[in-house]
Amino acid sequence: MKIITNPRKSSIRNQMMAMFLVVILPMFAASIFLLVNMRATVKDAALDSAMNDADSVRYRITDFIGSTEMPLNELSGDKAVKDFLSVPHTDKEEYYSFYSDFSLSSYTASAPQIKNMLVFVPQRDFIFGSGFLYADSDIKNTRWYKAAAGSPSTIFWDVIEYPGDGKYYLACCKAVSYNSRVTGVACALISDVWISRITPNDPVRTVLSVDKGTVYFSNCDNISPGDTINPVSDFLTSSIQKTYDQGFFNTKGYSVLNNFYSGNSFQIILLLPDSYVNSDLNRLSVVYGGYCALMIILSMLIIILFTSMFSRRIRLLSNKMHLVAKGNFDVDITDDGNDEISDLYSDLRQMIGDMQRLIKESYRARLEREAFKFNQMEAEFKALASQINPHFLYNTLETIRMKAYCNNDKETAGLVKKLGKFMRRCLEFKDTEVTLRSELEFTSSYLELQAARFGDRVSYNIYSEINKDWLILPLLIQPIVENAFVHGIESSKSNGRIDIKAYYSGEFVFVDVRDNGSGMTPEKLRELERKLEISDTSSGKSIGLTNVHKRIRLYYGDEYGMSVQSTEGTGTTIRIKLPREHAIKQPPKIKVE
Q: What is the pLDDT of residues 354-370, one digit of tens each?
A: 777 777 777 677 776 76
The architecture CATH gives domain 429-579: 2-Layer Sandwich (3.30)
Q: What is the pLDDT of residues 154-180, one digit of tens each?
A: 898 999 988 888 889 999 999 988 888
Q: Please report, for the chain, the start and end positions of each structural domain, with discontinuous segments joined by +.
A: 1-296, 329-360, 429-579
How many helices, marked H, and strands, marked E, lie in the chain?
15, 17
**CB distance 220 to 202 below 8 Å:** no
- List Cα–Cα distances, 575 to 502, 508, 509, 517, in angstroms: 10, 12, 10, 16
Q: How far apart, in whole angstroms, are the C-alpha atoms of residue 78 and residue 580?
A: 93
Q: What is the pLDDT of residues 188-218, one digit of tens each?
A: 999 888 888 888 887 888 889 888 788 989 8
The yes-or-no verdict on residue 386 having pLDDT over 60 is no
Between CA 120 and CA 127, with CA 122 as vertex, the angle to 5 degrees is 80
Q: What is this structure's pTM?
A: 0.47
Please name every residue paired with 575 in a beta bridge, in sequence order, or none if there are none.
512, 563
The values of phi and psi at residue 51, to 5°, are -60, -40
* CA neighbor of 314 nearest in space, from 349, 297, 280, 339: 339
* CA neighbor of 72 nearest in space, from 1, 151, 176: 176
The dihedral through the CA atoms of 486, 491, 497, 501 has a sign that is negative
pLDDT confidence bin for 420, thresholds 50/70/90: low
What is the CATH number that goes with domain 1-296?
3.30.450.20
**CB distance 332 to 319 below 8 Å:** no
Residues contacting residue 549 through CB under 8 Å, at least 6 positions apart:
532, 535, 561, 562
pLDDT confidence bin for 590, thresholds 50/70/90: very low
- DSSP, collapsed to helix, strand or coil, labels residue 213 as coil
pLDDT confidence bin for 550, thresholds 50/70/90: confident
User: Averaged over 390-394, what is the pLDDT?
Assistant: 52
pLDDT of residue 23: 67
Residues contacting residue 149 through CB under 8 Å, at least 6 positions apart:
140, 175, 182, 185
